[in-house]
């Protein structure tokens, strides 16, 4: 429960910045890599600092899984360290890519409507399909906006759990 304020404010911030992007003429904050990278690095450094503060040098047990033969241990430790370092990248890119891809799809389909509308009556009839798709994609984007905020929060909890109980 110690990290509840951090996790909850992360969730609310990401949810609101995802949801705001669905409203036309607004800017999606979380579709920019620097914003999500800053959030992921915040989580990463929280894990690092709190892990060392709470566990001291025992935090390094995170990189040494138990029950590994000694002759492949150095290799495994290298892989574990790289796996740990790759966390903030995958953590941030996931949210950024989902938001960016969703909004680009939405904008492309919405621009089909206006482009077809320029062809007169035939174009208007043809524009019904992309218009329907835009409506459907907006619903999908609502789902994705919520889901990605949830996924980011769950992964934050998993990483914080590593900081509190390393070597499990």
Partner 1 sequence: MARGFRLSSELVAGVLVGCVIGWALDRWLGISPWGLIVFLLLGFAAGVLNVMRAAGVVSKPDGRI
**Binding site residues, partner 1, CB under 8 A:** 65-68, 75-76, 78-80, 82-83, 85-87, 89-90, 93-94, 97-98, 144, 147-148, 151, 168
If one counts every other C-beta atom within 10 angstroms of the C-beta of residue 124, the result is 14
Q: With respect to partner 1, which residue has the nearer C-beta, 49 or 85?
A: 85
Q: With respect to partner 1, which residue has the nearer C-beta, 124 or 146?
A: 146
Q: 154-163 burial, b if ≥16 CB within 10 A, otherwise e?
A: ebbeebbebb
Q: How far is the CB of 128 from partner 1 (least distance, A)?
A: 25
Q: How far is the CB of 105 from partner 1 (least distance, A)?
A: 11
Place of tokens 């029950």: 67
Q: With respect to partner 1, which residue has the nearer C-beta, 79 or 125?
A: 79
Closest CA to 75 of 86, 89, 64: 64
Q: How far is the CB of 17 from partner 1 (least distance, A)?
A: 17
Q: With respect to partner 1, which residue has the nearer C-beta, 86 or 114?
A: 86
Q: How far is the CB of 4 from partner 1 (least distance, A)?
A: 23
CA distance 150 to 142: 13
| Contact predicate 30/18, CB 8 Å | yes
Taking every pair of Cα atoms in the chain, the longest distance, rounded to a whole number of angstroms, is 75
């Amino acid at each position: 429960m110690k990290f509840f304020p951090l996790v909850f404010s992360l969730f609310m911030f990401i949810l609101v910045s995802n949801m705001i992007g669905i409203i036309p003429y607004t800017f999606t904050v979380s579709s920019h890599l620097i914003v999500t990278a800053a959030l992921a690095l915040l989580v990463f450094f929280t894990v690092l600092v709190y892990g060392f503060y709470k566990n001291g040098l025992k935090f390094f047990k995170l990189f040494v899984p138990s029950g590994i033969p000694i002759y492949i241990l150095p290799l495994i430790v290298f892989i574990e360290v790289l796996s740990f370092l790759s966390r903030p990248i995958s953590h941030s890119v996931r949210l950024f890519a989902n938001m960016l891809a969703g909004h680009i799809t939405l904008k492309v389909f919405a621009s089909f409507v206006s482009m077809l509308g320029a062809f007169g009556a035939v174009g208007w009839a043809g524009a019904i399909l992309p218009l329907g798709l835009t409506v459907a994609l907006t619903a999908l984007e609502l789902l994705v906006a919520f889901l990605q905020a949830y996924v980011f929060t769950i992964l934050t909890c998993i990483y914080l759990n590593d900081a509190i109980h390393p070597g499990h």
